[in-house]
């Protein structure tokens, strides 16, 4: 960031400190002109994440087990609450 040089012995012309408006204009110009040197390296990040995680078969096995648990528990809760087609159906009989 460019900062204005202020001498220690300000004798003629009074104080050399910039006004608040000048200072805010300089800061705004510096911030507006800033650009990052380089963006994120997404391919490298993804490769490192893929290499550091568990093997795919472990992820798929865990996801399948979680899905089975969710479906079975949903079926049991739906049966217990007698929701929709899981509720006992009346048996029609004729005299």
Q: What is the pTM of this model?
A: 0.41
User: Per the domain annotation, does 67 fall within a domain?
Assistant: yes
User: Per the domain annotation, does 45 fall within a domain?
Assistant: no
Report pLDDT digits (tens) over 10-63.
555 555 777 888 999 999 988 888 877 677 777 877 788 777 778 889 989 999
User: Per the domain annotation, does 28 fall within a domain?
Assistant: no
Tell me which residue has tokens 């005299």: 95
Selection from 6, 24, 26, 25 nearest residue 16 by Cα: 6
Backbone angles phi, psi at 19, to 5 degrees: -70, 170
User: Per the domain annotation, does 37 fall within a domain?
Assistant: no
**How many domains is the chain built from?**
1
Q: What angle do CA 3, 20, 14 make, to 5 degrees?
A: 80
User: Per the domain annotation, does 31 fall within a domain?
Assistant: no
User: Per the domain annotation, does 80 fall within a domain?
Assistant: yes
- Print the domain residue range for 72: 54-90
Tokens of 29: 């110009």
Classify 14 in phi/psi space as left (phi over 0), alpha (psi -120 to 50) or beta: left
User: Per the domain annotation, does 2 fall within a domain?
Assistant: no
């Amino acid at each position: 960031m460019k900062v204005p040089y202020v001498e220690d012995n300000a004798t003629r012309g009074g104080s050399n400190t910039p006004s608040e408006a000048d200072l805010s204009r300089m800061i705004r110009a510096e911030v507006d002109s800033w650009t990052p040197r380089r963006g994120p390296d997404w391919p490298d990040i993804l490769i490192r994440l893929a290499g550091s995680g568990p093997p795919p078969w472990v992820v798929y096995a865990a996801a399948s087990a979680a899905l089975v648990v969710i479906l079975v528990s949903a079926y049991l809760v739906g049966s217990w609450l007698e929701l929709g087609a899981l509720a006992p159906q009346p048996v029609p009989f004729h005299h």
